[in-house]
């Protein structure tokens, strides 16, 4: 697995417990983690681009989804993945080629997916 120490990960997740668990998991392997609990915050952070990779929950509550954030990241060439309980079925067709991990996921699945995205982004 790629060494993730010192890498910054944006986590956009509306469920506070899931966000905290994801943050803890990534922090344990040396990542710096930025958490956004709302779509508007995630979009603002995506526009700033001060991170290496993003992990996006699809459904962010109140009818919001992370698809607008994903569009912003794609336009900037920032690597991202979707983490959702719906699998590929919850993803809009324009993102069909993007990495999707299904919740609940084992820790190694998230870490491997983030590592692959960072490796692919360097090439």
DSSP collapsed to 3 states, the chain: CCCCCCCEEEEECCCHHHHHHHHHHHHHCCCEEEEECCHHHHHHHHHHCCCCEEEEECECCCCCECHHHHHHHHHHCCCEEEEECCHHHHCCHHHCCCEEEECCCCHHHHHHHHHHHHHHHHC
Answer whether residue 18 is part of any domain: yes
Answer whether residue 87 is part of any domain: yes
pTM of the model: 0.95
Q: Rounded mean pLDDT of 56-81? A: 96
CATH label of the domain that carries residue 32: 3.40.50.2300
Q: Structural domain tally of the chain?
A: 1
Quote the pLDDT of residue 41: 98
Q: pLDDT, tens digit, for every residue of 18-39?
A: 999 999 999 999 999 999 999 9
Quote the pLDDT of residue 121: 72
Q: pLDDT, tens digit, for every residue of 91-123?
A: 999 999 999 999 999 999 999 999 999 998 764
Answer whether residue 107 is part of any domain: yes
pLDDT band at 42 (very low <50, low <70, confident <90, very high): very high
Answer whether residue 61 is part of any domain: yes
Answer whether residue 16 is part of any domain: yes
Answer whether residue 39 is part of any domain: yes
Is the pLDDT reported for residue 2 higher than 90? no
**Domain span at 15:** 8-122
Q: Rounded mean pLDDT of 82-87? A: 92
């Amino acid at each position: 697995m790629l060494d993730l120490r010192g890498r910054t990960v944006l986590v956009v997740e509306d469920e506070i417990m899931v966000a905290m668990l994801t943050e803890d998991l990534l922090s344990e392997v040396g990542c710096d983690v930025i958490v956004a609990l709302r779509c508007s915050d995630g979009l603002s952070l995506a526009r700033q681009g001060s991170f290496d990779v993003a992990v996006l929950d699809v459904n962010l509550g109140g009818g919001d989804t992370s698809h607008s954030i994903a569009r912003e990241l794609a336009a900037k060439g920032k690597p991202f993945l979707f983490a959702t309980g719906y699998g590929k079925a919850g993803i809009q067709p324009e993102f069909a080629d993007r990495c999707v991990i299904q919740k609940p996921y084992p820790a190694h699945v998230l870490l491997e997916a983030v590592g692959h995205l960072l490796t692919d982004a360097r090439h």
